[in-house]
């Protein structure tokens, strides 16, 4: 019989603090007025997803798209410049023409592909990226048959970074009851009252073997089961590569 502990305290978020970049209602109203007079850039859906992860703390301790020092450190050592393990760079690539005329310290609006304003960024860094090095270091290959390699070379040649003030998160209409932020997830786990948690992340629909595996793991630790699926369009074929 499982015994719940109603006074549990979850382990601290990675890096010690759960980042929250969403502004309050008062600041949101002020920013919505300000963005009418700011330059804007539209960012692809991939980087909209990264923005959401940054805003809700899923990428804690990151509170912005990576600057040059973190970017280069992650490529070389899979660690942030402060030494924390972080195996993949989280950057915002842009074309040079998108930021032409934008000065350091200037604030710009980040919009999704449908032109919805999501955040205001203060430009603090602009630096060059090396897509070939990214492919080699992160994916372990520059083979164009790898599903992500060609995409890497289509991204902008520059990266921008700086303070983010997030006005709103992307809207979703499917499975809203399961789309929990890290803060909401932690609160739900605390409410369950178990001192142990088994977590399982899947990028594909779960099969019967996965179901049995997770059930047995939960029973073994006598705790809660956290499943975090990231299910999208299934890619054709598979690819295995090793980081250098």
Alpha-carbon distances of 94 from 17, 127, 128, 159, rounded to whole Å: 29, 10, 10, 6
Catalytic residue among 141, 142, 185, 202: 202
Length of the chain, in residues: 244
Known active-site residue 202: yes
| Interatomic CA distance for residues 121 and 102, integer angstroms | 12
Q: Is the peptide bond before 61 cis (omega within 30 degrees of 0)?
A: yes
Instruction: For residues 227 and 213, give the distance between their C-alpha atoms in angstroms, rounded to a whole number.
Output: 12
Q: Any catalytic annotation for residue 185?
A: no
Q: Which residues of 126-146 are buried (b: 16+ CB within 10 A; e: fewer)?
A: beebebeebbbbbbebeeeeb
Name the catalytic one among 96, 203, 216, 220.
Answer: 203
Report the candidate in 133, 60, 135, 62 with the shortest Cα–Cα distance to residue 70: 62
User: Which of 188, 204, 220, 243 is labelled catalytic?
Assistant: 204
Sign of the C-alpha dihedral computed for residues 204, 206, 212 and 215 taken in this order: positive
Residue 204 bears catalytic tag: yes
CB atoms within 10 A of CB 110: 24
- 10: tokens are 């979850």
Give catalytic residues, as residue numbers.
202-204
């Amino acid at each position: 019989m499982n015994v719940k502990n109603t006074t549990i305290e979850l382990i601290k978020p990675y890096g010690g603090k759960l980042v929250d970049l969403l502004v309050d209602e008062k600041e949101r109203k002020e920013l919505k007025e300000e963005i009418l007079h700011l330059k804007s850039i539209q960012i692809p859906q991939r980087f909209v997803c990264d923005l959401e992860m940054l805003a809700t703390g899923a990428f804690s301790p990151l509170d912005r798209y990576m600057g040059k020092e973190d970017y280069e450190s992650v490529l070389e050592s899979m660690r942030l410049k402060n030494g924390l393990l972080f195996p993949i760079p989280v950057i915002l690539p842009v074309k040079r023409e998108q930021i032409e005329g934008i000065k350091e310290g200037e604030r710009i609006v980040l919009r999704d592909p449908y032109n919805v304003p999501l955040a205001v960024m203060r430009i603090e860094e602009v630096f060059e990226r090396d897509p070939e090095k990214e492919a080699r270091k992160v994916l372990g290959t520059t083979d164009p048959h790898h599903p992500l390699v060609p995409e890497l070379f289509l991204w902008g040649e520059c990266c921008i970074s700086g303070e983010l003030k997030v006005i709103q998160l992307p809207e979703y209409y499917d499975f809203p009851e399961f789309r929990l932020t890290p803060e909401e997830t932690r609160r739900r786990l605390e409410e369950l009252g178990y001192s142990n948690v088994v977590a399982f992340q899947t990028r594909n629909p779960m099969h019967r073997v996965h179901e049995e595996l997770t059930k047995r793991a939960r029973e073994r630790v006598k705790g809660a089961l956290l499943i975090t699926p990231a299910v999208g369009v299934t890619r054709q074929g598979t690819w295995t590569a090793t980081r250098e």
